[in-house]
Amino acid sequence: MGATASHLGKDLLSEYQELTFLTKQEILLAHKRFTELLSREDKNLPDPRAPTEAILTLPELKSNPFRERIVRVFSTSESRDGLTFEDFLDLLSAFSDSATLEIKSHYAFRIFDFDDDGTLDENDLEKLVNCLTGETDETRLTPDEMKQLISNILEESDIDKDGTVNLSEFQHVISRSPDFVSSFKIVL
């Protein structure tokens, strides 16, 4: 790939700049933080893959309730475990300030789709709300409230009334959501 663990080649850097939304400083900082996550043996591999547990120790991801989903979505390995540096750059690019709304909403949809079936159905939405409010029993909504909430969400976003939210319905509702761009942002 042309990159050793300690140094990024210049043309590789400019290639990354073109292929992602990150600036040069951000790519270099990402490289630094990524190599810190690797174990000693992995550092000498040509294309090292940081394990999921190491990535989840990053402070930016540690407090995020969707951290495992995020790593799964951006991982390119067969078992969806661990990120290479390019996966990590893809992650940061999608979460960066200058990413387009479409990229962000596309990846947000994939992150929220817990069962990976391409639509957000009621189970996905329920898991989503529970992630947001907390995992313990006191911090959950009552079943009635959950049902009310999910029916409200589906009423707002399900255009064809089939009980699920697909990608374009999701993107439609996100385009009208004013908070999305500012909240879907991770800056190292």
Should residue 25 be labelled a site residue for another protein when binding is judged by CB under 8 A? yes
**From the list 9, 15, 43, 81, which residue makes contact with another protein (rule: CB under 8 A)?**
15
For another protein, the closer CB: 38 or 93: 93
Should residue 4 be labelled a site residue for another protein when binding is judged by CB under 8 A? no
Which residues are paired to 84 by β-bridges? Answer: 49
Query: By CB under 8 A, what part of segment 53-92 binds another protein?
Result: 59-60, 62-66, 75-78, 80, 86-87, 89-90
Q: Looking at this protein, which amino acid is placed at residue 92? A: L
**From the list 21, 29, 42, 127, which residue makes contact with another protein (rule: CB under 8 A)?**
21
Tokens matching residue 40: 């000693």
What is the distance between the alpha carbons of residues 180 and 107, in angstroms, rounded to a whole number? 12
Long-range contacts of 164-167 (CB under 8 A, 24+ apart): 164/119, 164/120, 164/121, 165/119, 165/120, 165/121, 165/125, 166/118, 166/119, 166/120, 167/106, 167/109, 167/118
Angle at 144 between CA 141 and CA 145, to 5 degrees: 45
For another protein, the closer CB: 41 or 160: 160
**From the list 2, 7, 19, 45, which residue makes contact with another protein (rule: CB under 8 A)?**
19
Question: Could you give the string, one character per residue 109-128, with x where binding to another protein holds by CB under 8 A and - elsewhere?
Answer: -x-x---xxxx-x---x--x
Least distance in angstroms from the C-beta of 40 to another protein: 25
Should residue 27 be labelled a site residue for another protein when binding is judged by CB under 8 A? no
